[in-house]
Chains A and B, each alone.
Chain A
Amino acid sequence: EVQLVESGGGLVQPGGSLRLSCAASGFTLSGYWMHWVRQPPGKGLVWVARINSDGTTITYANSVKGRFTISRDNANNRLYLQMNSLRAEDTAVYYCAGGLSTSSGVWGQGTLVTVSS
């Protein structure tokens, strides 16, 4: 079964850091551009970042640029999001997603990040 599974979410204080992980199974991650998308509680979907197949091209939303870092480990079929200097407005469910422009698009089930003191 083709699947993405996120982990690493939780409660963190403002200014803190968290690293999200997304594990792929049933397919090879290296063939896909990968993305992180987030959804604040009760609100809509917001695109956060993307990384191309070999990790050489990366783009961020302005709201996270300079604080978040997307990376990938194709050998281990994993995608990451390092989140630093977290703010209350970063509170959201974070989804990893791949192949947004292809026939085989896949999304994870999401992991909740709560930034609060």
Chain B
Amino acid sequence: DIQMTQSPSSLSASVGDRVTITCRASQGIRNDLGWYQQKPGKAPKRLIYAASILQSGVPSRFSGSGSGTEFTLTISSLQPEDFATYYCLQHNGFPHTFGQGTKLEIK
């Protein structure tokens, strides 16, 4: 199985901050990775697909990069609505696997 190691597991930041979340794959997955945002009691919402393509309707402050084994999600200027939990998902191999999640909290 492909392991996805996501870091950090939690992050405290302020409105306006720039934050970066990282996912490392245990083997190369090309760009077969998506980033998801989840708020309490809600379904995950995809922000990025194919590692770096912004999902339609998602604000441009979100960006993704990487290929192979290392990937990052960057939020350029945090907004109050961005405080949530973020997950990466690799769909290169089966089973598909998620990162452990990053809980982004208000400082």
Instruction: Indicate if the CB atoms of A47 and B95 lie closer than 8 Å.
Output: yes
Q: How many residues in B have their beta carbons less than 8 Å from beta carbons of A?
A: 25
Instruction: Indicate if the CB atoms of A105 and B49 lie closer than 8 Å.
Output: yes
**Residue of A with least CB distance to B46:** A105
Cβ of B34: which chain A residues have Cβ within 8 Å of it? Answer: 100, 105
Q: Give the number of residue pairs across the A-B interface with Cβ within 8 Å.
A: 52
Give the contacting residue for B91; candidates A45, A61, A95, A101; CB below 8 A.
A101
Cβ of A44: which chain B residues have Cβ within 8 Å of it? Answer: 87, 98-101
Cβ of A47: which chain B residues have Cβ within 8 Å of it? Answer: 89, 95-98
Chain A interface SS verdict (over half): loop
12 contacts between A and B (CB under 8 A): A44-B100, A45-B38, A45-B98, A45-B101, A46-B98, A47-B96, A62-B95, A95-B43, A103-B53, A105-B55, A109-B42, A109-B43
Minimal beta-carbon separation of A59 from chain B (angstroms): 5
Q: How many residues in A have their beta carbons less than 8 Å from beta carbons of B?
A: 19
Give the contacting residue for A50; candidates B44, B45, B94; CB below 8 A.
B94
A35 to B46, CA, bound (A): 15
Cβ of B100: which chain A residues have Cβ within 8 Å of it? Answer: 44
Interface residues of B in 58-107 (CB under 8 A from A): 87, 89, 91, 94-101
A45 to B91, CA, bound (A): 14
Cβ of B99: which chain A residues have Cβ within 8 Å of it? Answer: 44
A39 to B67, CA, bound (A): 27
A100 to B32, CA, bound (A): 9
Cβ of A110: which chain B residues have Cβ within 8 Å of it? Answer: 43
A117 interface hit (Cβ, 8 Å):
no
B12 interface hit (Cβ, 8 Å):
no
Cβ of A56: which chain B residues have Cβ within 8 Å of it? Answer: none
Q: Which of B43, B46, B50, B95 has the most CB of A within 10 A?
A: B43
Cβ of B46: which chain A residues have Cβ within 8 Å of it? Answer: 105, 107
Q: Which of A35, A44, A59, A62 has the most CB of B within 10 A?
A: A44
